[in-house]
Amino acid sequence: MNARMAALTALCEVDEGVNLKDALGKIFEEDKLTEDDRSLANELAFGTLRHREEIDQIIRETYNGDFVSLDLILKNVLRIAVYQYLFLDRIPIYAIVNEAVNFGRTFKERGLINAVLRGIIRNKKVQALRIPRAWVFKQIIDAYPVDGERIIESFKIRPTPYIRINLLKNSIEDAEVKLKAGGFEYKDANWFPEFKSVNRLGTIINSSIMKEGFVSIHDEAQGLICHLVAPKAGDKIVDLCSAPGSKTTYMAELMGNKGMIIAVEVSETRLKMVIENALRLGLTIIRPVLADGRNYSIEGMDKVLVDAPCSNSGVVAKRPEVRERVNIKVIKRLSKLQYDLLDNAAKFLKVGGALIYSTCSILPQENEEVVSLFLKTHKNFILEPARDFTPIGDEFLKVLPGEYYTDGIFAARLKKVDEIK
């Protein structure tokens, strides 16, 4: 049994007078569904039942027959499909129709399901109901007319966890031996040999290989940003929004623990996370500083990373609360904060130094538009193409959710070519 069959069975039992919670509970007791399938079955069953009156009205307007006397199973197959179409953030239409049609027990039933659902999908009134409700999703559709639906769909997939091997403490081969000895399964990641995708993140977090600093938890797309910084041994770098320290520590590892990284963080609690990570990984070049990045002051730096606070619209799969809390006011506040951080960071650099701006947002208001405003107001900076520093990217470094099973991220590299003009 899968999630949709469980939901269908439960809804049919509800029609026979059984409580939905009890019906699902009995199914879950008798069948070994995965946690993901149980979650989806709950969503489909409760959601369909919650909106059944509205869904039935939509089906009645398309079904050319007596809906009331329609077979119970067929009714609920159609109801679940319409619920997914209207309320589950744009599951691909072909998937909804195909899955529903597969529930037909005869050729005639499959034809009926197919015809009714396609009629509903063609209904412009129904299509209007399917516009994403979350403001942030509407922005994604507007920004990515070709990829928007695929991006939103990817938010439903469990994120792939990644670890990063600390090459200062062990080689890739040594780390692989430790992972195998611990019973951890891993696969090569997309771009860098020190990154591995894993399947048991919770167990690794509590393992000795993690506590002793042989590996870190770090999404590989976030690691791309560190490569855009291109840290070198001996560099003097400021990481202006450093907590929890994943990028700070990776840059220190890429520098061979030689040079200096000033890790600025406005939160004392979060700054402690940076310090703990550095200690765990055996890194000695990180200098923690408790300060607001908009006011901190220093000069003569080689590179500055501004990994700015953002809406998290590229990591909705990890932070589903984004869909509820992000709106136009939030974006306006964040884009001002992002610009202010960049504006102050620009003062830290020596001529020839590089300012790297990054977010885990995919909204242009927080990315391209912030960079564009910065370049208009800082004529002594130029944009350096990301493709010159990273294995993917063009003018900017951008990874969309779902492209590589990583976080969605954006980054730009800005070179200081002169003193203030």
Q: Is 159 annotated as a binding residue?
A: no
| Three-class SS state of 307 | strand
* Cα–Cα nearest to 302, from 236, 230, 231: 236
Could you tell me which residues are beta bridge partners of residue 87? none
Active-site choice (12, 226, 310, 360) = 360
Structure tokens at 263: 């890790």
Per-residue buried b or exposed e for 305-339, using 16+ beta carbons within 10 Å of the residue's own CB: bbbbbbbbbbbbbbbeebbeebeeeebeebbebbb
Q: Is 241 annotated as a binding residue?
A: yes
310 is catalytic: no
Structure tokens at 291: 């300060």
Q: Is 265 annotated as a binding residue?
A: yes
Whether the Cβ atoms of residue 255 and residue 285 lie closer than 8 Å to each other = yes
User: In the structure, how many helices (H) and strands (E) does the chain have?
Assistant: 19, 12
The H or E element containing residue 162 is strand 162-165
Give 134: exposed, middle or buried? Use CB within 10 Å, 0-12, 13-18, 19+: middle
Q: Is 39 annotated as a binding residue?
A: no
Q: Is 318 annotated as a binding residue?
A: no
Residue 276: Cβ within 10 Å count: 12
Handedness of CA 395, 161, 164, 309 (dihedral sign): positive
Structure tokens at 362: 């995919």
Q: Is 242 annotated as a binding residue?
A: yes
Annotated binding residues, written as ranges, equal 241-247, 265, 307
Annotated binding residues for S-adenosyl-L-methionine, written as ranges, equal 241-247, 265, 307
Residues annotated as part of the active site: 360
